[in-house]
Structure 1
């Protein structure tokens, strides 16, 4: 589902019948927008002071640190907007909920929350939204109602990305082969969306066979991903031709498992890459061991869309920007697009960030 953020002053009357009807009429089936093609935030700043807080369910890795830096970079374009507060819930939903409630109680004008806990956090979003606070969960497309369950819900269009994976697999494998999908914890909503899109795309290519009807759980953890990949190699041997994944960390772990098993690495399609993965691929290009590879990225920039949508809602400004965001192509072996590799950035750094290189690398030195 794609929607467009288009707010007026009436949208601030969250919870009223008029607001719900208005927001419902504004939901439009429009194309998603690429993450590197967003609008100009300065049109949305307003003049009143606005404090922005970011809440992560899991926030300790470099990807999340870059995301927060991207938020601060985007907010810096508005002299009245500050984004200095960030909570990492450490994987605990109660801590996550408490952080949102705390910022709302303190009267923060905007709260952005990464949708790590999916629909389970909807009651918290609903309680936080209103009374001067604009609550914006982002990344997963939630089933709630804008202006009621939250102010607005920008999201990564995982279904569209899954479709893109399938189309690329068909190209890379000449339309024939056995493929699999790696995801996060069992039942993870974002992984399910990736898989749905992947299956939709595969339906157009009958020569591509999905070996498992569900995604293979990795818990988005490299150790678990490597174990899962070892199990797949034990089960299918060298008959796996392509693997799609919704996280570069698990893709890297899977490649390592194939290398350790002495089995040729299959075609890999992934998102949210890392410096280590890119450098490994580039080294493979040099020594002839590279695998067919697609990386779509820029995902740390999704938070910029969330901030713009939040400001539009908070300030009652009409704003046409699709809420569905898709990444740009960062690496593609079929088009000779090579990813960045750095010998000074951390191994888990995502160098596809929309920040300029000087700002990005200064983050690694903190």
Structure 2
């Protein structure tokens, strides 16, 4: 692989793929009543961060909460805690034997894909490293704003002091998050923002620079197709805040640097396989000579490839945030055939749920946090090592979930 662009100056790691995280560390500090289990092995922490970002980004250059989160993630949870993590993940609510009085709520806007399920497990594993956490609850809004608002209020009513959330609804969630904080909970978001929120509304927002991400995605597109051609945007839920930002900034980058590249279509998919298949079918049926599809979720792009296969049309370049083993497999097997296509992608970002959990716990303990905790998300070009052949198609190569636990999830 080669790094095309990134939020930080970085070069790609020699081996970006793996069979699940090995979070063990010989040098670790045992958890105390108010502090988590964490590793003191700087090399192990850096190696885990390299795995997470798919690039040699120096962890010393990112926000302290990210550094702290990876020190926690690099310490191996005991077997009983890993077993409990699977129980929490399967049942959505669990009590931690011997845990403290902190209740954690994980409020998801939508749980219906692999990315969300991986992120859920990342948050659970991080929470189980904190001895003062005694209960974990997970709720799914099923893409409904009113349900999401009700779920957050319910978590507060049940005593949640930390709420980790993926926000699909933009600023519409700000009053609910702010009310949760006024009730004493600490709310931390990962990946998707409430753009107008202050720290009184949301304690921490763990985000990419979505505008820079859009610019980098435009640069990767130009690297794939050259300086001219039509492209399409495949978005998730209509109006999701991250999509609005990266769409605009990618378009602005095309106009500023690559005026020969124009956006022919922008379609919503609800981040479902069927949605992506229908979007691809619509592009094919339109007859527009689309040379690249830009999106922010890799897994269902396999359905886009299948739509082009079935139509007998050569696929365009795929430029996608996040990563997916099934897509890497399709890319690898298509090489050297008439169906070959270019593929650029980023790390999966599921691990940002861990950073949100740690940031919320730090805020609960009185730490001063910035309003936004920005994480790196460089684009890389697919290579011969991208497809991890001993893993399933839903595997995300940048996950920090231990391999044996992944085996039980799949």
Same fold (TM over 0.5): yes
Asked whether the equivalents of residues 207 and 372 of structure 2 are also in contact (C-alpha less than 8 Å), the reply is no
Q: Distance in 2 between matches of 1:96 and 1:300?
A: 20
Structure 2 residue aligned with 1:192: 244
Structure 1 residue aligned with 2:397: 351
1:79 Cα deviation (Å)?
2.5
Structure 1 residue aligned with 2:67: 39
Asked whether the equivalents of residues 297 and 321 of structure 2 are also in contact (C-alpha less than 8 Å), the reply is yes
TM-score normalised by structure 1 residue count? 0.79
Structure 2 residue aligned with 1:255: 305
Structure 2 residue aligned with 1:362: 408
1:236 Cα deviation (Å)?
3.2
1:287 Cα deviation (Å)?
5.2
Structure 1 residue aligned with 2:39: none
2:156 is equivalent to residue 128 of structure 1: no
SS in 1 for 2:182: coil
1:363 Cα deviation (Å)?
2.4
Q: Distance in 1 between matches of 2:70 and 2:218?
A: 38
Asked whether the equivalents of residues 182 and 216 of structure 1 are also in contact (C-alpha less than 8 Å), the reply is yes
SS in 2 for 1:243: strand
Asked whether the equivalents of residues 188 and 205 of structure 2 are also in contact (C-alpha less than 8 Å), the reply is yes
2:384 is equivalent to residue 332 of structure 1: no
Asked whether the equivalents of residues 63 and 349 of structure 1 are also in contact (C-alpha less than 8 Å), the reply is no
1:57 Cα deviation (Å)?
1.6
The structure 2 residue matched to 1:183, chosen from 235, 248, 256, is 235
Q: Distance in 1 between matches of 2:387 and 2:131?
A: 33
Q: Distance in 2 between matches of 1:43 and 1:177?
A: 45
Residues 26-82 of structure 1: per-residue CA shift (max 9 Å, x gap): xxxxxxx996443124989xx974221101121132222211111122223333235
The structure 2 residue matched to 1:228, chosen from 271, 274, 279, is 279
Count how many residue pairs are aligned between Structure 1 and Structure 2.
Answer: 326
Alignment of 1:206-245 (within 5 A): 206-212=258-264, 215-237=266-288, 239-245=289-295
Q: 1:207 to 1:263 in 2, by over 3 A?
A: farther
Q: Distance in 2 between matches of 1:82 and 1:317?
A: 21
Q: 1:131 to 1:184 in 2, by over 3 A?
A: closer
SS in 1 for 2:160: coil
Alignment of 1:1-366 (within 5 A): 36=53, 37=59, 38-41=66-69, 49-82=101-134, 84-212=136-264, 215-237=266-288, 239-285=289-335, 289-318=339-368, 323-329=373-379, 332-333=381-382, 336=383, 338-342=385-389, 345=392, 347-364=393-410
SS in 1 for 2:129: coil
SS in 2 for 1:39: helix
Q: Distance in 2 between matches of 1:143 and 1:243?
A: 26
Q: Distance in 2 between matches of 1:168 and 1:42?
A: 28
SS in 2 for 1:300: coil
Q: Distance in 2 between matches of 1:118 and 1:283?
A: 38
Q: Distance in 1 between matches of 2:367 and 2:282?
A: 52
Q: 1:273 to 1:135 in 2, by over 3 A?
A: same
SS in 1 for 2:103: strand
Asked whether the equivalents of residues 71 and 83 of structure 1 are also in contact (C-alpha less than 8 Å), the reply is no
- Which sections of structure 2, spanning at least 5 residues, go unmatched? 1-6, 8-48, 54-58, 60-65, 73-98
- Which sections of structure 1, spanning at least 5 residues, go unmatched? 3-32
Structure 1 residue aligned with 2:56: none
Asked whether the equivalents of residues 190 and 356 of structure 2 are also in contact (C-alpha less than 8 Å), the reply is yes
Structure 2 residue aligned with 1:30: none
Asked whether the equivalents of residues 141 and 157 of structure 1 are also in contact (C-alpha less than 8 Å), the reply is no
What value does the CA root-mean-square deviation take over the aligned residues?
3.0
1:158 Cα deviation (Å)?
2.3
SS in 2 for 1:51: strand
Q: 1:117 to 1:258 in 2, by over 3 A?
A: same
Asked whether the equivalents of residues 298 and 354 of structure 1 are also in contact (C-alpha less than 8 Å), the reply is no
